[in-house]
Amino acid sequence: MNLSVRNVLQFSARSLSVLALSVALGLGLSTGASADEADAKRLLKAMSDYLAAQQTLSFNYDATLEVVTAEDQILGIASSGMVALKRPDKLHATRSGGFADVDMTFDGKTLTILGKNLNKYTQIEAPGSIGQLVDLLRDKYGRPLPAADLLLTNSYDELMRDVVDIKDLGSGVIGGVECDSLAFRSKEVDWQIWIAHGDKPYPCRYVITSKSMPNGPSYSIQIRDWKTGKAVAASSFEFKNTSKASMVKLEDLKGTGDLPEHFTKGERK
């Protein structure tokens, strides 16, 4: 089956154009500057500062990428995985779905992408920090990391880029954790984030909705098992070829992208 889907952009509030779910709601919220807007900014900044202060952190996640077919059907591509990082330049991330099982390690110099189900891997020279790796993967290779915006030490600045409207929606509960629910709008995307209450204001859910595509497809990631500091299990950031996988060029590492191989990207309507 060769299923054509309209183009999906990167997974960040700065550049993403994906998602669906449009329901007209008459919310009794002011769109102008208000105390609620200032409070939402404060809560987001507190989250950003908390994340930046963590030298080591890890979490598991469940994600859904929505795509729109040429027939305007909305499809959700689900995956799960984990992320562990050690600042400034060590990262380990996995993503497992129905068509891909990917393991990524970054040791500050080299990024290794292993297709575990393929038993093939590729390596990219990428000396620098985690922030530089996030930019390289998104801009050059079109392979954004899960929750990439949230991994940056300046996540507040990146998230607030081009924001024109802010709403504090009050409390919500994600995975049994009470959170502050905040909604933001920019020219290209709407995005919403749920931030845990308390002295560890970590992100519990992050949803980005496209405004530039019909049917507004979205990308959502829900975070669980959040850990920092000594609670983070020891993670290896160096690639060890224990399965004797074959090394290939990046373009030959098929079946490790965000969409199944039988999906073909089409033009936007």
Distances (CA, A) of 153 to 26, 55, 73, 256: 36, 10, 37, 27
Kindly give, in sequence order, each residue whose CB lies less than 8 Å from that of residue 35, ignoring residues fewer than 6 positions away: none
What pLDDT score does 24 carry? 29
What pLDDT score does 22 carry? 26
8 A C-beta contact, residue 18 and residue 65:
yes
Residues 189-208 pLDDT 10s: 999 999 999 999 999 999 99
What pLDDT score does 120 carry? 97
8 A C-beta contact, residue 17 and residue 187:
no
| Superfamily of the domain at 3-22+36-257 | Lipoprotein localisation LolA/LolB/LppX (2.50.20.10)
Residue with tokens 């709407």: 190
What is d(CA 247, CA 88) in angstroms, rounded to the nearest whole number? 27
Q: How crowded is residue 147: how many other Cβ atoms within 10 Å of its Cβ?
A: 21
What is d(CA 114, CA 105) in angstroms, rounded to the nearest whole number? 9
Whether omega before 217 lies within 30 degrees of 0, making that bond cis, reads no
- Region 35-60: mean pLDDT is 96
Whether the pLDDT of residue 31 is over 60: the answer is no
Share of the chain above pLDDT 70, in %: 84
What pLDDT score does 18 carry? 31
3-state secondary structure of 72: coil
What pLDDT score does 267 carry? 57
Residues 105-122 pLDDT 10s: 999 999 999 999 999 999
Q: Which residue has the higher pLDDT, 35 or 86?
A: 86
Residue with tokens 């880029």: 161
Residues forming beta bridges with residue 58, ordered by sequence position? 84, 227
Average pLDDT, the chain: 86
Whether the pLDDT of residue 258 is over 70: the answer is yes
Q: How confident is the model at residue 25 (pLDDT cuts 50, 70, 90)?
A: very low
What pLDDT score does 34 carry? 62
- Tokens read off for 11: 């997974």
